[in-house]
Structure 1
Amino acid sequence: MNKPLGVLVGIVVVAEALNTAGAWYTGTKLEGVLKTSIEQGNQALATQLKGTATRATVELVSIDRGLYSSTARYRVNIQDESAGADAQPLIMQFVDHIEHGPLPWSRIKTFKWMPVMATSNYALEKTPSTEKWFAAAKDQSPLKGQVTLGYNRSVDAHTEILPLELALDETSNLSFSGLTMDAQSDADGQNIKAKGYMDHLKVHAVSADKPPVLVELNGLTLASDLNKSPYGFYLGQNILELSEGQLTFGERQSVAKIKNFEYAGSASAKDTLLSGRLAYNVGDITLDGKSVGSAKVVMTASSVDIPAMQSLLQIYQTKFQPHADGTLPVAQLTPAEQIQMQADLEKLLAAKPQLALENLALKTANGESQFHVAASLAKPASFEQPPIDLVKQLVTSLEAKLQLSKPMIADLSNVQAQLEGQTDPQIIAEMAQLNSETAGVLAVQSGLAKVEGANILASLNYAAGQVDLNGQKMSLEEFIAAMMNRFGGMSVQE
């Protein structure tokens, strides 16, 4: 044997020996790692589903450990408590072929030679609960994926839902292109990045007593970049983009379509204070092929005390959140809960939170309307004081501004007439003109707005007990008295 070949053989032998040793080590540690991961996953599920009627758990059914690979089976139980005590849970069972590290063959053959602890190749198995799903996927496992676990406990995952053609009943059906999702996280899921894509989803629902409904979604992209906060929930960014959505509905089978829908949500924290932003944007809205317009919504919040918010949410979920059937809980707040709720509210207000609807905009072919409102809150000296004094201390500032386009009102009147089946162009035009002019007259008569050109305008600014309504300045007491006299004929009582 020549020297270079001998060196090569030596390297292969040493590498195989190290791989065998690593595989043995991985195999001995694997069961403990799986049990820990499942326990953490169940805790996370319980937290996410708290306050809902859904309960879900994951359990490790079995694990057959080998030298180079192991086979594990998991069972997922999903129970809908709103369906009644006799309802059967949805049971999904997964088989998982786990390749031991440090060099799983599935990674070697794709030229991924970085040593890892294990690579999991899982797939949904057929059970009575999932046999229809299998049939819709042409008897293939409709849900499968691969998860690679690094020695630093990082996770690299790929999930795939296969295309489906499914008859929901004798007259309704579903067509689904499939979905792929890739995600990465570090140890214990402190930092998570994920991205998914779906090409299309179509649901055609037909019932005997209602008109058919057709829902179509095309080009859906999901993306997240999240960091786990010290308070147990994730901060960061979530994005959803939809190229096109379509709804066919009603007796006339009207077709409402949106294009270029975007959702972006972000949250951050500084010490114990939370800030967040939600933005929705629809690039184009049409009805039966005729343009309606575009829309945008932006909401923000800042200086929200996290521990107080979490405590209040917990009380709400256990005492006030409606059940799945719409009924309200019958349990009343205990004296201790009442004290806790007031303490949380005071703490929340002491942080001086700021809430805003930064922009609510609707643009049509002939006009654009916008609305903005922002409020700053503070902790009052006491809640046991006259209402006006309480408002002065509770609301430190309030700003609202409205620009309502009369041509936009006319455009929307055209849409309403179209939905109602009106086809006479002259009647539609007359009604649109009447509605836009009536809106302007009513706004002026109310004393809350004025008309300038093609727009109805209104503005309200409040700070330090003083109100500015469309340029007219007055005290808070005078403003409340004016509103009560105008709309209710009531007098102010302190």
Structure 2
Amino acid sequence: MKKSVVAVGVIVALGAIWTGASWFTGKQLEGRLAEMVAQANSEIKRSAPEAGVELSYQNYQRGVFTSHMELVVKPVAGTENPWLKPGQSVVLDEVVSHGPFPLAQLKKFNLIPSMASVKTVLVNNDVTKPLFDIAKNTSPFEVQTRISYAGDTSSDIALKPLNYENGNEKVAFSGGNFTLDADRDGKTYSLSGEAQSGLVDAVNEFDQKVQLTFNNLKADGNSRMTSFDERIGDQKISLEKVAIAVEGKEMAVLEGMDLDGKSDVSKDGKSINTQLDYTLKSLKVQNQDLGTGKLSLKIGNIDGAAWHQFSQKYSQESQALLTDAALKQNPEVYQQQAMAVLFNNLPILLKGEPVITVAPLSWKNSKGETSFNLSLFLKDPATATGEAQTLAQEVDRSVKSLDSKLAIPVDMATEFMTQIAKLEGYGEEDAGKLASQQVKGLAAMGQMFRITTLENNTIGASLQYANGQVTLNGQKMPLEEFVGMFGMPTLGAPEPAEPAAPVAPPAPVAPQQ
């Protein structure tokens, strides 16, 4: 009897402790909500000010074991938003299971103590209704987030399968699963996951049925904040296949696409080094094999403080363009202004004297491989003194040196142009003859203008530059002479003289009688 009483007492005590702990952690989480929302808004404003949205929460109802609230995404007051009109919002429904052992985590047999577990789904309203239509009146995604007592979060994101048809329009998606981990302050996060397949059927402007499909999308990346308030990290994206068909006929197939990007801070913590590697294992257009390609691009010595200054200034000026009512009515002028903003701010990035390397950019088929390599060392133009009097002096303000090489095997180029000719409707024999003529003509023209050489059945070109001197295919010349080869005016060159007025021919002399 006494043992039974003791057992019941222990169970009651444990229940009281669990209830009290759940109530306490629920109250603790409630106290942190404002901080978490403010942190999220700060990150949106810093990294994507052009989004023009902010977060808030409403209808918070705290219980002993679970709480409920709604997270609201709405336009920032006084700004125009391309996605949301004034008064519109996207609402996320949040069900919070309190720690130390959230019920939602216990259902998964996860016994790691945590502050809370949050289930997030999308709310159906006038903004999100099209998504619910595609997802057959259910939330198109569900997120399960575990919040540790340290404030770190781990989210399992489940994208639901979609299947929607309306006339000639169709959207089908296999669904996908992703995991997002972030620290308490949002300074580091990682994202990984995959989606098996997707399909979109639509009608283009020519009233043709177009179909786009993809298979096996995978993503894996991480990001962390630097001391100069900019993000670096590693990102890897791969896609097994993308196919485009028009009127049921396969037009293009891209297979084996891999994008691998890396960025890191130098040992002294002052500059960023980045690298981008891209590969495409196969490109077929209308069943014609055009080959494979790859690109390896490196940019080093990007000054961290300058990058932050560039990011801030570019974002502010781009945001100003987005809110300019006059520019919205003229897309062509807007594009011109946007490009001007970019190029006007690019000199800021030259502060650290970055180095750009392409090694290589290449395209390969069954007959050979074309490759292009580039090494460009830049200068900070702000350190230059005096006014540039010549083109070489102007270039030397920003360029320390350049070295580039191009190699195009004739057989490879002929094979590539043969495939292009066959796409244009030529037969196999005629396509080969036409391609051979085109490549030979290109090689002859390049030699005639001294731009390329032809050695060992390879069209080649090499270009080096430093201190106002150009070396083109081994031939040295001043920069002005090189530019003059293309009929371009140079800085400091004398203006062409005005043509003299034509002299009237002498009046005919009457013959002597």
Q: Same fold (TM over 0.5)?
A: yes
Q: Identify the residue that residue 128 of structure 1 maps to in structure 2.
A: 126
Separation in 1 of the partners of 2:392 and 2:420? 41
Residue deviations 1:126-179 (CA, integer Å, cap 9, x gap): 212223322322322222111110001110101112111123x54222111112
- Partner of 1:310, secondary structure, is helix
SS in 2 for 1:327: helix
Asked whether the equivalents of residues 301 and 356 of structure 1 are also in contact (C-alpha less than 8 Å), the reply is yes
**Residue in 1 that maps onto 2:419:** 415
Farther-moved stretch of structure 1 (228-237 vs 459-468): 459-468
In 2, the alpha carbon distance for the partners of 1:326 and 1:277 equals: 33
- Tell whether 2:102 aligns with 1:104: yes
1:233-312 matches, within 5 Å, as 233-249=230-246, 253-270=249-266, 271-312=269-310
- Cα 1:365–1:2 change in 2 (3 A) is farther
What is the deviation of 1:257? Answer: 0.6
Q: Does 1:445 align with 2:448?
A: yes
Residue matched to 2:508 = none
TM-score when normalising by structure 2: 0.84
Aligned to 2:162: 164
Superposition deviation, residue 426 in structure 1 = 2.3
* Residues in 2 aligned to 1:140 and 1:384: alpha-carbon distance in whole angstroms: 66
Residue type matched to 1:173 in 2?
K
How far apart are residue 368 of structure 1 and its match?
0.7
Match of 1:225 among 216, 222, 227: 222
Shift of the 102–320 alpha-carbon distance from structure 1 to 2, 3 Å rule, reads: closer
Are positions 1:390 and 2:394 aligned together? yes
Equivalent residue in structure 2 for 1:327, among 325, 330, 333: 333
Q: Offset of 1:56 from its aligned partner?
A: 2.4
Aligned 8 A contact 1:303 1:352 in 2 = yes
CA 1:122–1:431 in structure 2 vs 1: closer, same or farther (change >3 Å)?
same
Whether 2:155 is the aligned partner of 1:154: answer: no
Q: Does 1:401 pair with 2:405? A: yes
Structure 1 residue 464, shift from structure 2 partner: 4.4
Which segment is superposed worse, 283-292 or 254-263?
Answer: 283-292
In structure 2, relative to structure 1, the CA distance for the partners of 1:14 and 1:113 (3 Å cut) is: farther
Letter in 2 for 1:482: E
Residue 187 of structure 1 aligns to a residue in which SS? coil
Q: Which digits, 9 at most, give the CA deviation of each residue in 1:400-455, with x for residues without a partner?
A: 011112223223323322443x1422221111111121221122112122111231
The Cα of 1:20 is off from its aligned counterpart by: 1.7
Bigger radius of gyration: 2
Q: CA–CA distance in 2 between the matches of 1:18 and 1:291?
A: 69
Aligned with residue 471 of structure 1, among 474, 478, 485: 474
Decide which moves more: 113-122 or 393-402: 393-402
Matched residue type, 2:33:
L
Question: 1:312-338, CA deviations, whole angstroms, 9 ceiling, x for partnerless residues?
Answer: 343334446865745339999xxxx9x
Query: What's 2:66 paired with?
Result: 69
Distance in 2, matches of 1:114 and 1:144, equals 22
Note the residue ranges of structure 2 that are not aligned, 5 or more in a row. 323-327, 494-513
Instruction: Give me the whole-angstrom Cα distance separating, in 1, the residues matched to 2:305 and 2:123.
Output: 42
Question: 461, 464, 488: which is aligned to 1:458?
Answer: 461
Q: How many residues align?
A: 474
Structure 2 match to 1:117: 115
TM-score normalised by the chain length of structure 1: 0.87
Aligned to 2:355: 354
State whether residues 320 and 329 of structure 1, in contact with CA within 8 Å, keep that contact through their aligned partners in structure 2.
Answer: no
**Residue matched to 2:481:** 482
Give me the whole-angstrom Cα distance separating, in 1, the residues matched to 2:337 and 2:377.
33
Contact 1:409–1:435 (CA<8 Å) still a contact in 2?
Answer: no
Q: What fraction of aligned residue pairs are identical, expressed as a percent?
A: 23
CA RMSD of aligned residues (A): 3.0
The whole-number CA distance in structure 1 between the counterparts of 2:490 and 2:135 is 68
SS at match of 2:185: helix
Q: Which secondary structure state, in structure 2, belongs to the residue aligned with residue 77 of structure 1?
A: strand
